[in-house]
Structure 1
């Protein structure tokens, strides 16, 4: 669930800027100039928020509820930044006020920098939100956003004083934001991957039904993670350059790191067909706050759809006998052959004693819907706390159904990581 602290922090900074900008405008500002430059400032602060979130720092995960939620806010902030920037461009006066020295207040190079930055922002945002573009092509083009950010800084720093008064209260706030943003940008591009990377080697590649399990052996230290977290996996060598996020399916404390990947595209197919033991792999993480152990609810529903089982597999492998929670694991798959680790799940449920496994196979007419859950659960649906991971249409349908059953939104937790 998205925590309010993060979005409230962004909203607070925007509100502070608006108050300072409207409360202490330059003397020569007309209302139109004040309003349109305010929109430009809001767009830049939203861009800065996106840049800051791209650092993946743990403190922001705590504020937003995990990296998956940070990336959701990252995308929303980028979208609204483009909208505000477009309104700013078309609304800002194109001519200097009467009586203003045109030489002392030249618009060059502010105008071309701003127009170029906005064009690249809109194009980059279109590419970022277009899921039809392959990840291998999307990732390098998304880095153009770093250039956009630098161009926008150049745009307002070279703007004539009649539009941007650098030492006004709101101007100082924008400059401080630019300094923080540039530091975060440099860290994201040059420092983050180096700081967080942990080296592993491939020990085994196990082909499952419609999925692949990759077993990694640490070269030195094992990463410290909690059940339900994910990490970025980057296979070293030509043709393997891009990192991909996957949920860790092994349990903390094991001497090997396991990832279970559904075969969805070129990269995961290549893992299944070409990845060999001995290959070096860099793992960066862990990330995420999909933690069922931190809540106070003792009656929990873990609902997994397909490969969405992986965070729950990690949780079950880590769980010890004597856990006082009563957990119903609802596992939805197309058919029994598609249900990975089904025998292991049955054995763990029997061993732990507090787990009730409920397989639902759509080929048999059993779908992950609230009516089926109502049939299989002993108590009313609004008495449970829910943890769900699976295909987006399934999760959205269940969210709607649970709401109709009177389940509070605060009792529904989803793992929603997506880079795009």
Structure 2
């Protein structure tokens, strides 16, 4: 569930800027100019917030409940930045007021920079939200948004004083935001991989049913993580030029790092067919706040397909004597698709507090709230629910649980999408 602390910080910053801007407008502003310039400033602050979130700094994960939620806010902020920028563009006066010195208040280069920034912002947003574009093509084009950011900075820093006073109270806020945003942008594009990645060597590539398990051994030190967290995996070598996020399926304390990847597209298919032991991998992380230890004693873990991986790590890490009562519902198309099913059965028998419930759709068995209501020993609202799997499944079950009176703070999902 999204923690709202980070959202409140962003909204608070925007409200603070708006109040300052409206309280101390330049003397030469009419109402229209004041409002539309304010909207342009809000669009820039939203862009800055989006760039800061792309740094993936750990401090922000607690504010939003994980990197997955940070990227949700990152996308939403980008959308609202584009909408607000469009309103600013169509609403702001396009000509200087009569009697104003056109040389001292030249519209060049501010206007061309603003128009280019807006055009690239809208195009970039379209590309970012287009699921049909392959990740390998999407990722480098998304970096063009950094150019947009510099164009927008150039736009307001060269704007004529009749429209924007750089050293007014609200102008100083935007200049400070620009300074922070530029540092965050440079760090995101040029510094993050080298600063935080750990080197690993590929020990094994195990082909499973419609999935691949990649086993890594550390070259230097082991990644320190909690069960259910994920990391970005970047394979070194020609043709492996972008990192991908995957949940860690091994347990903390193991001397190897395991990732279980469903074969979904070109990259994961290439992993299955071409990846060989001995290769080098950079791993960056861990990320995520999908933490079952902070919930109540009665828990439902609902895994759909490859959504099993965070729960697999948790089960592997559990020790006998755990006082939680856990029902692990594992939904798959058919039994042969249920990877690690035998291992899960062994863990359930060993632990004693885990009830494994396999559900196979080809047998007519689906994860449904009405069936939970009938078969669970306690009322639905007495459990905490942790879900990871296909979006339609998670969305549908979440809606049905709410209808049954389960509060939103008892429903925990992993929004494992970064586009």
Is TM-score (shorter-chain normalized) higher than 0.5? yes
Contact 1:48 1:181 in 2 (8 A): yes
* Deviates further, 96-105 or 213-222: 96-105
- 2:89 aligned residue: 89
- C-alpha displacement of 1:41: 0.2
- C-alpha displacement of 1:376: 3.1
- C-alpha displacement of 1:404: 1.1
Q: Is there any run of 5+ residues in structure 2 with no aligned partner, and where?
A: none
- C-alpha displacement of 1:323: 0.8
- Number of matched pairs: 419
Contact 1:78 1:125 in 2 (8 A): yes
- 2:249 aligned residue: 249
Q: Is there any run of 5+ residues in structure 1 with no aligned partner, and where?
A: none
- 1:61 aligned residue: 61
Question: How far apart, CA to CA, are the structure 2 residues paired with 1:188 and 1:396?
Answer: 31
Question: How far apart, CA to CA, are the structure 1 residues paired with 2:338 and 2:377?
Answer: 24
- 2:219 aligned residue: 219
- 1:269 aligned residue: 269
- 1:313 aligned residue: 312
- 1:78 aligned residue: 78
Question: How far apart, CA to CA, are the structure 1 residues paired with 2:78 and 2:8?
Answer: 17
- 2:142 aligned residue: 142
Q: TM-score, normalised by structure 1?
A: 0.99
- 1:361 aligned residue: 360
Contact 1:358 1:376 in 2 (8 A): no
- 2:195 aligned residue: 195
Q: Does 1:396 align with 2:395?
A: yes
- C-alpha displacement of 1:375: 3.3
- 2:385 aligned residue: 386
Matches within 5 A, 1:160-309: 160-295=160-295, 297-309=296-308
Q: The residue matched to 2:47 in structure 1 has which SS?
A: helix
Question: How far apart, CA to CA, are the structure 2 residues paired with 1:377 and 1:208?
Answer: 32
- C-alpha displacement of 1:179: 0.3
Question: How far apart, CA to CA, are the structure 2 residues paired with 1:31 and 1:404?
Answer: 46
Question: How far apart, CA to CA, are the structure 2 residues paired with 1:103 and 1:398?
Answer: 63
- C-alpha displacement of 1:190: 1.1
Q: The residue matched to 1:163 in structure 2 has which SS?
A: coil
- 2:17 aligned residue: 17
Q: The residue matched to 2:355 in structure 1 has which SS?
A: strand
- 2:325 aligned residue: 326
- C-alpha displacement of 1:417: 1.8
Question: How far apart, CA to CA, are the structure 2 residues paired with 1:304 and 1:260?
Answer: 14
